[in-house]
Amino acid sequence: MANGEQSDEGRTCDAVLRVLERRSGHNRANLTRPETMQGQPPIDYAFELGATRYAMEHTLVEAFPGQITLDRRFADLIGPVQAALGERFAAEGTFKLLLPVDTTVGKANLAQVQQELIDWTHSAVAEIVTEQPTRMRDRAYHPHGVKQRKETEIGGLKILLFREVHWNLSARLDGTWTCARIAPGNVEVQRAERIVAALRGHLDNLAQFAQNGARTVLVLEDRDLFLTHSGLIDRALTQALGNFDYTPDEIYVAEVLQDQWSLVCLKRDEDRWPDQDEDEHHFSFQCADLIDLRADAT
């Protein structure tokens, strides 16, 4: 279970259920939401594939406390800035705009901070280009190219702009820029702690269904584009599971990013990464093709 405003539980679990259907050769049947039924452990979904009964739990995973909320605030801040700055600057080299991980700005000041950030970035790019108008083609004089940096503070946020001009850089990349945030310290320690917190309760619910002969499935939803991938989740998960008495039969990570979603199985029975040697070990889905199980289940 997860906050519906922050997760896409229904469609994420539908994606996993489609993989299970494909593997079993059976269509889903008797899909229910026990958490809405009296006298049942609060499992997200229960269903049958052929003669096998399944119990499925879903949770969000974060790299550090509050990450999902901060990601949303960052998107609110940077979206209009990216639209105003465009895809490229009129300059040679590549650029990176770096912001703190916490970009919380009060609603009353948001538009002003965005405009100041747009104006400063234009000004900083112009200053950088004045200092180094073109890339140095002399490999002997600048074997590692030229790196430049500007910084400021806007609305209490420390802002950094980097430019790299290299003699071997393709002109096709000139003017391109990316935006990123500075990761918090000890992020992998925090990731392990957050996964332990995310699993607490969910594994107990699954264990109750397992006692009645159900096969159990844990679904981890990942919405982090910058700091997380399935390998890091698996490493933290392996450590986290040592804190619990029960481990689900199957564990999946769903990378819920943009319109194309990716799904990978981390555990099936005693096998880790069981599909790694298969032709299809990452399952891809178009978000629009999935259904919301919260509305579909009885």
Q: How do residues 93-144 score in pLDDT, each as one tens digit?
A: 899 999 988 888 888 999 999 999 999 999 999 999 998 877 655 555 566 7
Same domain, yes or no, for 153 and 111?
Answer: yes
Tell me what percent of the residues of the chain surpass a pLDDT of 90: 49
- Decide if 3 is inside a domain: no
* CA gap 49, 18 in Å, rounded: 11
Q: Is the pLDDT of residue 45 over 90?
A: yes
Give the mean pLDDT of 233-257: 90
Give the mean pLDDT of 266-287: 83
Task: State which residues form the domain around 161.
Answer: 67-181
Please report, as a single letter, which amino acid is at residue 233: I
**What is the gyration radius of the CA atoms in the chain, in angstroms?**
24
Same domain, yes or no, for 212 and 166?
Answer: no
**Is 181 within 8 Å of 100 (Cβ atoms)?**
yes
Same domain, yes or no, for 85 and 153?
Answer: yes
Q: Is the pLDDT of residue 68 over 80?
A: no
Same domain, yes or no, for 51 and 197?
Answer: yes
Same domain, yes or no, for 101 and 54?
Answer: no
- Number of structural domains the chain divides into: 2
Looking at the DSSP bridge assignments, the partners of residue 88 are: 176
Give the mean pLDDT of 191-213: 90
For position 32, which CATH number holds? 3.40.1350
Buried-state track 63-85, b at ≥16 Cβ within 10 A, e below 16: bbeebbebbeebeebbeebeeeb
Helix (H, G, I), strand (E, B) or coil at 123: helix
Which of 153, 181, 209 terminates a domain? The answer is: 181
Alpha-carbon distances of 172 from 88, 150, 244, 268, rounded to whole Å = 11, 24, 52, 45
Which of 181, 216, 251 terminates a domain? The answer is: 181
Task: Say what the pLDDT of residue 143 is.
Answer: 64
Same domain, yes or no, for 16 and 163?
Answer: no
Same domain, yes or no, for 165 and 201?
Answer: no
Task: Say what the pLDDT of residue 298 is.
Answer: 65
- Decide if 216 is inside a domain: yes
Task: Say what the pLDDT of residue 95 is.
Answer: 95
Same domain, yes or no, for 164 and 78?
Answer: yes
Strands (E), 45-128: 45-49, 52-60, 94-99
- Return the C-alpha torsion angle 216, 43, 286, 277, nearest 10: -10
- Decide if 1 is inside a domain: no
Looking at the DSSP bridge assignments, the partners of residue 222 are: 255
Q: Which residues contact 144 (CB under 8 A, 6 or more apart)?
A: 166
Same domain, yes or no, for 128 and 276?
Answer: no
* CA gap 285, 179 in Å, rounded: 27
- Decide if 35 is inside a domain: yes
* CA gap 164, 166 in Å, rounded: 6
DSSP state of 167: T
Same domain, yes or no, for 74 and 167?
Answer: yes
Q: Which residues contact 213 (CB under 8 A, 6 or more apart)?
A: 53
- Decide if 243 is inside a domain: yes
- Decide if 145 is inside a domain: yes
Same domain, yes or no, for 74 and 176?
Answer: yes
Which of 181, 211, 242 terminates a domain? The answer is: 181
Same domain, yes or no, for 192 and 264?
Answer: yes
pLDDT band at 1 (very low <50, low <70, confident <90, very high): very low
Global pTM value = 0.72
- Decide if 2 is inside a domain: no
Alpha-carbon distances of 104 from 9, 24, 81, 155, 221, rounded to whole Å = 26, 46, 15, 9, 24
C-alpha 190: how far from its chain's center? 15
- Decide if 214 is inside a domain: yes
How many CA atoms within 13 Å lie on the side-chain side of 248?
28
Q: Is the pLDDT of residue 235 over 50?
A: yes
